[in-house]
Amino acid sequence: MDLLNTLVDKGLRRETPTRGEALAVLATSDDDLLDVVAAAGKVRRHWFGRRVKLNYLVNLKSGLCPEDCSYCSQRLGSGADILKYTWLKPDEASKAAAAGLAGGAKRVCLVASGRGPTDRDVDRVSDTIRAIKEQNGGVEVCACLGLLSDGQAERLREAGADAYNHNLNTSESTYGDITTTHTYADRVDTVQKAHAAGLSACSGLIAGMGESDEDLVDVVFALRELDPDSVPVNFLIPFEGTPLAKEWNLTPQRCLRILAMVRFVCPDVEVRIAGGREVHLRTMQPLALHLANSIFLGDYLTSEGQAGRADLEMIADAGFEVEGTDRVTLPEHRTGGGCGAHDDGGGCGAHEGGGCGSHGGGVCGPAPSGAGSCAGAAEESAPRTDEPRTDLVAVRRRGAGTDLAPNA
């Protein structure tokens, strides 16, 4: 296919595709899907080899957010039955982080619900960053605290933060349909503040909120212009109790095309599969590793994903390897200074309602609610692929904010 040959050549040269080419990727047929994956996989391997970076989320403060983001289980007025708790103490957060690092994670992402941090919150998170770094040698830390005020990014950097995450989520033209309590421009401003402070900027999107192909291309091209080191791609988890609970617009094939488009537009950037990969990619997750070079390990902010051990086995079985702390994630030309000088382009990036990675136990351990375990799974009739997979949406009940051990 001439389109794919052109996109591979451009990706190897770090040349931006045209909008028409990006839209054409999203419009390819299922018959061409493996060709699309193979082409984008060439670009991924050129810049990142077969390494997969593991990231681990710690939800420092859950629920009770004053913002009205429609996708979020922690939003103002959310009826989702999620964990709600105030700030973890630094030692509690460090203990939670250690579980993820023991499971193979390279970066810890510290996330807190809310519009943005107060100066006291920045002090609190700074203490947590120092505690994690003192107790876990070589760890990288990303903060995700919402909209930043002047000077706050610099203070986080001084405390030892390596990166800051703040997602654009959707296109500028449709942003007001998703959120009304802050603007798209507010989000862009925070990403720029992270850049200016010398933090590795991380910013991505959420697919599956009813957006058009044009909206997806718009937000990815806007991200390319902002030039973050990391682009997390979330797939909406339609939590009951949120305005988007009935939005089940994604198929595994659609998710793969979206990831491929992001890779072609952002060839040398860390592309991370974030919230919702188990819900929407399902058994096609291993194919997505040919497109993205980063995933989350363990549970997400308010929901569960698959067992951490299953993630590790999936990576190995697909012929990839976990990226060690001795490796720099980004290509050399992105690590010479500024936002790329902190080893890699990590960040959190999982949308607040997301879930990505732990059910506790091993591969045959508990799966998300109703999904069934290994034993007896074959006895149940398989769900139709065109039906909403509400059985795969499981609220997190372990780890940070609970007395139960985290899954990593």
Q: Is 202 a catalytic residue?
A: yes
Average pLDDT over residues 105-114: 96
Per-residue pLDDT, 373 = 36
Give me the catalytic one of 44, 75, 142, 266.
142
Strand partners, 205: 169, 233
Mean pLDDT of the chain: 88
Give me the catalytic one of 44, 69, 339, 396.
69
Per-residue pLDDT, 136 = 84
Does pLDDT of 338 surpass 80? no
Which CATH architecture best describes the domain 42-325+336-341? Answer: Alpha-Beta Barrel (3.20)
CA distance 201 to 221: 16
> Would you say 235 and 255 are in contact if contact means Cβ atoms under 8 Å apart?
yes
Does pLDDT of 88 surpass 80? yes
Encode pLDDT of 156-205 as tens digits. Answer: 999 999 999 999 999 999 999 999 999 999 999 999 999 999 999 999 99
Q: Is 272 a catalytic residue?
A: yes
CA distance 59 to 400: 6
Q: In the chain, what is the greatest distance between 2 CA atoms, to the nearest angstrom?
A: 58
Q: Is 72 a catalytic residue?
A: yes
Per-residue pLDDT, 89 = 94
Average pLDDT over residues 61-65: 91
The upper half-sphere exposure of residue 230, i.e. CA atoms within 13 Å in the direction of its Cβ, equals 36
Give me the catalytic one of 124, 257, 272, 334.
272
The two tokens of residue 242 are: 């949120």
Average pLDDT over residues 110-135: 96
Q: Is 364 a catalytic residue?
A: no
Encode pLDDT of 210-230 as tens digits. Answer: 999 999 999 999 999 999 999
Average pLDDT over residues 336-341: 41
More confident residue, 269 or 135: 269
Q: Is 374 a catalytic residue?
A: no
Q: Is 65 a catalytic residue?
A: yes
Give me the catalytic one of 75, 144, 202, 254.
202
Average pLDDT over residues 315-331: 96
Encode pLDDT of 46-62 as tens digits. Answer: 999 999 999 999 999 99
With cut-offs at 50, 70 and 90, classify the pLDDT of residue 1.
confident
174 CB neighbour count, 10 Å cutoff:
18
Strand partners, 4: none
Angle of helix 184-196 relative to helix 152-159, nearest 10 degrees?
40
Average pLDDT over residues 113-136: 95
pTM comes to 0.89
Give me the catalytic one of 109, 144, 255, 348.
109
Q: Is 69 a catalytic residue?
A: yes
